[in-house]
């Protein structure tokens, strides 16, 4: 996979702006997808199952969203990941400091990280280093 795709699923427009600015500075070569909620993100993934070159390697996911929260997203991602050669990993990015949310996140194989907002760019960079050769 030559394109470095990541995605953010978050209903907060300010968080999306901060995310875009942060990742543009970390690596201008990243392709960033933005989804305003779980259903929007899931629709994109399902529409592109046959085009793995358009799927993100990692999704940064808020868990507190109206209509369909991050847990809803994770439940549906299980089925999507079962048909992918390279499953999509998730980094939860949440305001939650509740240990029950962290514990619940461990029940999902796709969840590799749990970051608490506000997240600094060093924490984002650590996640990206796992997936891509990012520039300094």
Looking at domain 4-131, its CATH architecture is: 3-Layer(aba) Sandwich (3.40)
Contacts of 65 (CB under 8 A, 6+ apart): 9, 10, 11, 37, 38
Integer Cα distance of 115 and 97 in angstroms: 10
Average pLDDT on 114-125 reads 92
Q: Does residue 69 have a pLDDT over 60?
A: yes
Average pLDDT on 6-26 reads 93
Integer Cα distance of 21 and 110 in angstroms: 25
- Indicate the pTM of the whole model: 0.94
Tokens 């592109």 label which residue?
A: 48
């Amino acid at each position: 996979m030559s394109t470095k795709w990541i995605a953010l699923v978050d209903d907060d427009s300010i968080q999306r702006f901060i995310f875009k600015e942060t990742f543009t500075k970390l690596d201008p070569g990243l392709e960033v997808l933005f989804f305003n909620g779980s259903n929007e993100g899931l629709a994109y993934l399902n529409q592109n199952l046959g085009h793995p070159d358009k799927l993100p390697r990692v999704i940064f996911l808020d868990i507190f969203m109206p209509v369909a929260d991050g847990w809803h997203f994770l439940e549906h991602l299980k089925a999507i990941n079962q048909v992918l050669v390279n499953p999509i990993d998730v980094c939860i990015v949440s305001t939650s400091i509740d240990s029950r949310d962290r514990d619940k996140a461990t029940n999902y194989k796709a969840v590799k990280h749990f970051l608490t907002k506000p997240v600094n760019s060093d924490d984002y960079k650590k996640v990206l280093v796992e997936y891509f050769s990012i520039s300094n």
